[in-house]
Amino acid sequence: MQKLKNYINGEFVSTEEYKIKLSPIDKSPLAEMPVSRREDAKVAIDAAYDAVKTWSQTPAIKRAELLYKLYEIIKSREEELIETLIIEGGGIYKKAWGEVVFTERLVRNAAELARHYGGRTLQSDMEGVISMVFKKSKGVVGIITPWNYPLSISMKKIAHALAAGNTVVYKSASETPITGYKIAEMIHQAGFPKGVFNLVIGPGPVVGDEIVTNRSVSHVTFTGESATGREIASKASGTLKTVTLELGGSDPLIILDDADINLAVRIAVFGAFFHQGQICTSSKRIIVHERVYDLFLKKFVERVSQLKVGDPRDKSTEQGPLISERQAEEMQKFFDDAVARGGKVLAGGRRSGAYFWPTVFVDVDRNFRIMREEVFGPIRPVVSVKNDDEAVEVANDTDYGLSAAVVTTNITRAFKIADAIESGMVHINDVTMLEESHVPFGGIKASGFGREGGEWSFHETTYDRWVTVTLRERKYPI
C-alpha cells in the first residue's frame, strides 16, 4: 500500500502520524495518508515565503515554460489520474476523464496568460508625467480545495497562482489525498524550483487554520461549503489577507412552458445527478411551469429511474457511490425530513453504504430542507409554478447565489429571467454546472465572492501598483 508524503521545499517528507484512506466504492484500503501537524504547515509556509522573491522575479516566459511542461506531464499520465479519481472519489469514468481533460485546459490557459497578463499606462492629469499600473504577485497563496473535483479545482488555483508569480501552500481535501499527492509528483517532475509549490496533507482545523491565520500568507483561495467559508473569511480578517471564496449553491433550473421538453429532461437529469449530485453548481431545485409540469415530470422520473447505480470502475455505470458513508447518512437526513413534511417520492430513496439512489421529490414547499439548504447528493425536488415571475421568486428564495439555468425557446423571456435571477452565473438552454478554463467562475450571497478562471484568477492573486515618472521640474505649493 502506498505511503503518501507531504511535499515541502522541493522534497517529499514524512510526518509523525498516518491513517488509512479507504475507497468509497468498497472500503478497500488505498493508501496511508499523513495527519499533518500545525508545525508541518508552518514549515511549508516558511519555504514558500523564502521562495517568493526569486519566483516573482522569474521572467514570465520561464514560468510559462514550466507550466507547459506540467501540461505535457498531465497528458502523459491521463489514465493513471482517471483511475485515481475513480477509486478515490467514486466518480464514474466519464466524470474522471472529463476532469482530467479540463485540468489540462486549465494549466495550458494559465501558461498562455503568464506572458500576457500585465499592467497598463494611464493618461496623467499633469504635464510631463508618465503614469503606469504594474501587476504584482501577492506572495504566498494558501489553497484549500474540496473532494468532489480534487484535480481540476486544485490545478485551476495552483496553475494560475504560479503563473502570476506567487508561491503556493496547498492543502488537499482529506477525502482525496492521493490526488493531491499526484499533483505534487507532477509539479516536482516538471522541475519547479524549491519552495515554489508545497503540499501539506492533513485536517482542516489544523493545517487549514494555520494557512488562514499565518501572517506570511498573503491570500487564501477556498472552495467548499459556506459554513467553512464564513469561518475562513472571519479568521483571515485578523491578518487582513485577501480571500477568494467559492462556496455552496442551491442552484435553480427553470423550465418554461415553451421549452423543448425532451431537451429539458436531458438537461435536468445530467444537471441534477451527474457525479451523484456532488457538484456545487448541480441543478438542486427544478422549477417547472405548470402547463408542462406533468409531462416533464413523467419523462424526468422515467429517465431517473433508469440510471444505472453501481461500481464506477464499470464504464456502463451512471451513478457511483457518494464520497463516504457519512455523506450518504447526510442524504438520509434530507430524505427523512422531506418524507416527514409530506413530500412524495417518485424515484429512488434507497441507500446502501455510501450509495444513495437518484431520488425525486414532489409535493414540497419552501420550508423543506431540500429547498432551503445545499443538498450535496442525489436528492432533487421538482416544483410547479404558475408564471415567470413566480419562477424567479422561487429561484431567488435562497441564501445562495452561485449558478442558475433557464430552458425556453423564447430568448426574450430567457434574458428577462436571467437578468432577474440572483446568481453569479446563468445559463440559457443548458445545465447549471457549465465551466470553462477562461471564464469568471463564482457566486454572490452565501455562495461566496471573488472570481476564478483565466484572467480573473490572475486578478485575485495580484495587486495593482501605481508608478509615476515625472519628466519635468514641478512647482510645489510649499
Q: Which residues are catalytic?
A: 246, 280
118 three-class SS: coil
Residue 379: how many CA atoms within 13 Å on its side-chain side? Answer: 33
| Extended beta strands in 145-202, E state | 167-171, 197-199
How do 285-289 and 344-347 pair as beta strands? unpaired
Residue 385: how many CA atoms within 13 Å on its side-chain side? Answer: 22
The one-letter code for the residue type at 164 is A
Cα 126 from chain centroid (whole Å):
45
Cα 352 from chain centroid (whole Å):
27
> What is the Cα–Cα distance from 157 to 288, expressed in whole angstroms?
36
> What is the Cα–Cα distance from 49 to 8, expressed in whole angstroms?
12
Describe the crossing of helices 78-89 and 177-190 by its angle, rounded to 10 degrees.
160
How far apart, in Å, are the Cα atoms of 281 and each of 123, 189, 327, 346, 379?
A: 42, 33, 18, 23, 14
Q: Which residues of 122-159 are buried (b: 16+ CB within 10 A; e: fewer)?
A: eeeeeeeeebeeebebbbbbbbbbbbbbbbbbbbbbbb
Residue 294 CB contacts under 8 Å (≥ 6 apart), including other chains: none
How far apart, in Å, are the Cα atoms of 63 and each of 60, 350, 370?
A: 5, 50, 45
